[in-house]
Chains A and B, each alone.
Chain A
């Protein structure tokens, strides 16, 4: 292909190799290493003068190192007179922005933190809450919980169990709301950094928030893995018309419904209630209210997060659909809830399988019968540990076709619906 060169960052070389194979071009040679002090060093071996350069780098592994490597590569190509530099980020780094719900009083910052500044603020009855998912673990673990607790307690609980709620909850009004915390929103920053480094075009896949495109001043092509997932469901799940597509949280409902609509399947939704309340006697819980609960032990308080299922899955095969699995808390908890509700078999389809921390072990022990992910992040290591539980779909064809079309100046939108 004319003037086209594909370079690979160190996050996902296998994917780049596959993309190059699809395109029928040799992979551009880049030597990336680190100086002894940890600074990244990049050497672009092949000439890029007046070429259309595509740099493939996923936001996985050591995200900051990989992101910086990408910035340096973009900048190096730009200063080496490349005609156009396109960053191909199958998994976009920092795409999940912390969006903790604000309440009218703002957040209390009277919390104990991992990296507390001096002078530290002592807090009475601080709960140590094991972070269970990305949102709660993202920034303010304990403080926000305290805040939410105290606001919750001031309102009647709108449930059938409201009458008994007074026995469940005890007052905790020692936290006084202070300044509303300022939380870094790194989306625009990451977009600006890529543009500043010299990127002319971005290709990514299944952005967590589609609004992210608006942060850029350059074109962003957001590709979808939906056709691939649909293809998998239609061909690999027996009697898929009677299966239920389930979204593990309310944020991903739109994504899951789109798949369900296309394939004519029914749909269910798991709603995570992140309310935290103090329990006196957990056995008095109203079972209709709390279908599944995670009780985190702490010295004096019980903090519970409840998950509710909306829809019927009894005796059915369930297909969980999500864009990203990182710590896997959300998806494993969703799977166990589905099994509790009588689901016979649980598939989990996720575009980006990051599986950081203990995620693999958690999935192995979970109620998920089969997890399907894509090559947007390296899966070789995961495949070894998960064995037949894991199936990997190849996204290199979609990315390669997008690169080919962008290089030729053809439309990309056909890929959105039909895949490749």
Chain B
């Protein structure tokens, strides 16, 4: 589904690469947590899957496509196979819940009939069946994120990418969102979720890929979120202190 081969990314002005020699394979139907401190390269990795960014070196393959070889004008069509959810929801504030979800289908040219069936269905899945005509500001944060998830999966993409989807939510709301993502994953969708919340990772006991300063530190099939000593002390070198 998603494969990274020796991928590195260097931003011109930064001396330290954002990603360095990342090799990673994510299979169909997997649920993968990307964990790590801010700036560890989680978001860059997700943006590369979306082909919002290209690696400085190495290859990224998504859904059998070599992204480097994908011409720009094909990128929109490639993205229709990916659902994306962000920390800040990214809803259109002047459109209702229904319209926000339908908008996705409208812009990719789905028929009116398809939209009028698919949107209520997906709203039921995310538990917002009764709130179709609300505007985003009338909803709680958790509900807004459910709208965003509905929008991401309404087109039944094989891959769902989530970048800190619970970052703005309280723990109990987060749990609801995680349950929803787990259910979507059970339906066969590959889910890749970036987070730095240990409790969420520990609870689901799914595969964990831990990034630190652009390097994969750990890749465990049923891992938990162990924070590195260096992170806790903010760059403080523990070994030297002991010596």
Q: Do A and B bind each other?
A: no
Chain B residues in the interface with A (C-beta under 8 A)? none
